[in-house]
Amino acid sequence: MNASAFHLGIEAVFSLLVLALLLSAPVPAADSSLSRLQLLQKQQDLLAVWVAFGNPDAETMRADFVFVFPGRAGIIGFAGDKFEINLPPEGCTRSTASARYLDGTLRLREITLTVFC
Amino acid sequence: MSITGRRGIVFSFDLLIAFIVMCLILCLILVNMNLRADSAVSAQRSFALQHAALSVADTLVQNADLNNPALGSAYFGEDKRRVFGNVIDGTLLAKADFAGISLGKGIFLKEVSLRYKSGEYGQIHRSPLPAGSCTAAERFVVVKGAAIAKGATEEKAILTVVACEGGI
């Protein structure tokens, strides 16, 4: 009969459950950094320069990409073609920006720039 | 008497456990709040630094101010009567005086430099003040009319602006 002293009432069980829930709750990581904005700005810079200086060729764009994002992987889409720079690691996040412009013959063109991780 | 006593003990244990758990929860909440406050203060400092560096870099790249090039050194095309974003007037940037720029309490501009695609490096400004933690903002630009590669009229470069804590 004395063992009944160790029985837990419903409030104690409930409290323990709440505590367990609190302890197991994942804490989301707060991203207060402006690094994503900085990445996007650099992507937009590349696109702005390519568009402003007209008729960029694949080699120039590839060289500019390597200069601005050394060691990073990316994909440049231009005039219906897509070319990759380095191989993106598995499960890597990506950031894509694009620019549309009228070329010398007044045809609408689009350049897409994707940067991984 | 004995029944009441036993019931009282059972009740006390439950209450005791509930009370201890409640205290633990309160303690966890306080610790969590403290950690969050600490990380918020740290994030705020880092955010202010990044914001300062990004703002200076952006204003340099997007605006043209002939009287105070530190507020904008973008190239102004006389023929088209407009400012060309992402195109830096190298001659104008070379005249910029960044020493007077105030970026807020405890933040100052440590360095402004250009790293050309050709591999050359050009320092525009470097503060002698002692620095704490720093952050850099980079922008891809085309530099016109500066002391760039011989024979070239323009060259691609990365403009780097470094903002630091300290400066006292």
- The gap from C-alpha A7 to its chain's centroid, in whole angstroms, comes to 52
The residues near B59 (Cβ < 8 Å, ≥ 6 apart) are B71, B72
- Residue indicated by tokens 């403290």: B34
User: What are the chain B neighbours of A35 within 8 Å (beta carbons)?
Assistant: 50
One-letter amino acid at B138 equals E
Q: Closest residue of B to A17, CA-based?
A: B21
Query: What is this model's ipTM?
Result: 0.75
Of A14-28, B54-68, B137-151, the least confident: B137-151
The pLDDT value recorded for residue B34 is: 93
The pLDDT value recorded for residue A92 is: 83
Contact A12 B17 (CB under 8 A): yes
- Separation between Cα atoms, residue B87 and residue B62, nearest integer Å: 8
Q: Is B54 within 8 Å of chain A by CB?
A: yes
The pLDDT value recorded for residue A90 is: 81
Residue B80 has pLDDT above 70, yes or no: yes
Q: What is the mean pLDDT of residues B13-23?
A: 84
- Separation between Cα atoms, residue B129 and residue B58, nearest integer Å: 23
Of A18-22, A31-35, A95-99, the least confident: A31-35
Residue B123 has pLDDT above 70, yes or no: yes
Of A6, A19, A30, the CB nearest to B21: A19
Q: Closest residue of B to A21, CA-based?
A: B25
pLDDT tier at B57 (50, 70, 90 boundaries)?
very high
User: What are the chain A neighbours of B61 within 8 Å (beta carbons)?
Assistant: 45
pLDDT tier at B166 (50, 70, 90 boundaries)?
confident
Mean pLDDT of the residues in chain A: 84
Q: Which of B159, B117, B112, B118 is nearest to B138 (CA)?
A: B159
Contact B46 A33 (CB under 8 A): yes
The pLDDT value recorded for residue A66 is: 93
How many pairs of residues across A and B have Cβ atoms under 8 Å apart? Answer: 96
Of A9, A19, A53, the CB nearest to B24: A19
User: What are the chain B neighbours of A49 within 8 Å (beta carbons)?
Assistant: 86, 140-142, 156
pLDDT tier at B113 (50, 70, 90 boundaries)?
very high
The pLDDT value recorded for residue B11 is: 61
- Separation between Cα atoms, residue A1 and residue B7, nearest integer Å: 11
Alpha helices of B63-165 — where are they, by DSSP H?
Answer: 90-95
Q: Is B10 within 8 Å of chain A by CB?
A: yes
pTM summary value: 0.76
Q: Closest residue of A to B154, CA-based?
A: A53
Contact B50 A6 (CB under 8 A): no
Q: Is B152 within 8 Å of chain A by CB?
A: no
- Separation between Cα atoms, residue B42 and residue A76, nearest integer Å: 37
Q: Is B133 within 8 Å of chain A by CB?
A: no
pLDDT tier at B146 (50, 70, 90 boundaries)?
low
User: What are the chain A neighbours of B21 within 8 Å (beta carbons)?
Assistant: 12, 15-16, 18-19
Q: Which of B15, B20, B27 is nearest to A10 (CA)?
A: B15
